[in-house]
Structure 1
Amino acid sequence: MIDDIKTEAESKMQKSLEALTSAFNKIRTGRAHPAILDSVMVNYYGQDTPLKQVASVNVEDNRTLLVAPWEKSIISAIEKAIMMSDLGLNPSSNGDAIRVPMPMLTEQTRKEMVKQARGDAEQGRVSVRNARRDANGMLKDLLKEKEISEDDLRRGEDEIQKLTDKYIAEIEKMLKAKEEDLMAV
């Protein structure tokens, strides 16, 4: 029973980490990275479709992404979708593919992105703590129903706290790496 609660809590904490990784991928650095365009949705035959389902996105050089659509007819739709996204990118098409140059980041822009990364990390920490709270609540419910002893409750809470500490430390490590990545010139 306690192991089931612990497993469920760890699953929720792992999902929080995955959500944070996804959020960090959307924060662009000065370097080109295909994950930056993961959130771009293209109008493809009347349906909003993720960019990676209608084109391949590759790194051409350190500062440029190359988007190669599988159908030439949707180049303008892809170009428009990238421009309309809130990423601040200006794509240019050569008829066959679209080049997306990464603009240089100013010091102020970098600081704003670090602030955004810290906010995302705090969301991750809150999510992990919520998983801890839920797990501890389930343990206390088991104690009320006399299905576990107080010693089992304490042991379970300690295990949940260790999991929480592990995932919060992982979030801190990810945040530190992202901040260094953003502030690197």
Structure 2
Amino acid sequence: MSMIAGRYLVRCAVRKFPVAASCSSAEHVLMMGCAEVAVTPADLSLTPHQQRRFFGSKRSKLGHHMERLDEEAHRFEREEAVEKRKKKKAGKKKNRQAAKGTDVEVPEVEFTDDLADDDEDDGPSLPDPKDLELIMNRIVDGVKESYKSIRGAEPTPDIFDRIMVEAYGDTVPLPTVAQAVIVSPTLAQVTCYDPSVTKSVRDAIRDTLELNPQLEDEMSGTIKVPLPRVSMETRQKTAKQLAKQAERARNRIRDIRRKAMNKVKQAKDGKLEGVSEDEAFRTGKEIDSATEKVTKKLNDQLQAKQDEILAV
């Protein structure tokens, strides 16, 4: 079925004449017995009785054509209605989230495989406890660095430190091109050293923190950043995420210790030439001491950050 100049061409199986007739009514069409006929949209409103009268067992074909025509006529209206409902539902969800408070995303800390390779020595010697402590501290320091972008009950300028800005043909940390100051619990001000990068800084803040920074004065390089309040429910959720992150770091530290202690055990069993049992025992104790020291450091910084987040 197709539409030409406001009239529909209906192909039916009454008679197989390869002609098209312009008829004044659907009844006239059927009486003409055309294979392809032109009818107005109003002519398609046939009652079931008319279909049975004029089409007999063939009436289903026109019925299918009419259903398809009606479906096409209303398809766009239905799609538009569905889209409006989706937008309305999304708006309600966004408003509910705004009422609860802004979600805080805990950055992922990658514990790369090179750390695992550093703690094992293929040579016939014991691992150095001081070197192992340095490797473990790199893990703890990485976790601490990730805390900077997580705000507590009160915002701090640290939340801007991990933002990367496209400037001068390169990607640089925000603190290298601008200074952030907390004006109030709900407002921060970022001042760019070079006004030419103001828009890039604004876009980086918007994309990274999902906030709505405003250019107060582009010539002076000043950006105002409204800071939404974070609800207690969201802060509690963030504190739990930090605990999980710290547990992953502990597991990584334990893994480093385990691999080092495997070498110590080999020495105790006399499998490392030139290493006495006493030396192996002493090294094992130093490794345990370093592990406990680093783990305590990790636990202390986690507790301090959780207290900051949950402060009333």
TM range (shorter): 0.7 to 0.9
Could you give the per-residue CA deviations for residues 23-64 of structure 1, whole angstroms, max 9, x where no partner exists? 222222232222211221111133222111111223334443
Mapping 1:1-185, distance limit 5 Å? 5-85=128-208, 87-95=209-217, 96=220, 97-140=222-265, 144-185=271-312
| Structure with greater helix percent | 1
Return the alpha-carbon distance in structure 1 between the equivalents of residues 228 and 153 of structure 2: 7
Larger RCO: Structure 1 or Structure 2 (Cα < 8 Å, ≥ 6 residues apart)? 1
Q: Classify 1:79/1:148 alpha carbon distance in 2 versus 1 (closer, same or farther; 3 Å).
A: same
Return the alpha-carbon distance in structure 1 between the equivalents of residues 187 and 256 of structure 2: 40
Deviation at 1:21, TM superposition (A): 0.9
Higher deviation after alignment, 152-161 or 132-141: 132-141
Gaps of 5+ in 2: 1-124
Contact 1:30–1:103 under 8 Å retained in 2: no
Return the alpha-carbon distance in structure 2 between the equivalents of residues 37 and 27 of structure 1: 10
Helix, strand or coil for the counterpart of 2:128?
A: helix
- TM-score (normalised: structure 2): 0.54
Return the alpha-carbon distance in structure 1 between the equivalents of residues 307 and 173 of structure 2: 29
RMSD, matched Cα: 2.1
Return the alpha-carbon distance in structure 1 between the equivalents of residues 187 and 259 of structure 2: 44
Runs of 4+ in structure 1 deviating by more than 6 angstroms, as ranges, are: none
Q: Classify 1:78/1:134 alpha carbon distance in 2 versus 1 (closer, same or farther; 3 Å).
A: same
Deviation at 1:71, TM superposition (A): 1.4
Q: How many residues align?
A: 183
Contact 1:23–1:120 under 8 Å retained in 2: no
- TM-score (normalised: structure 1): 0.87
Deviation at 1:179, TM superposition (A): 1.2
Q: How many percent identity over aligned positions?
A: 29
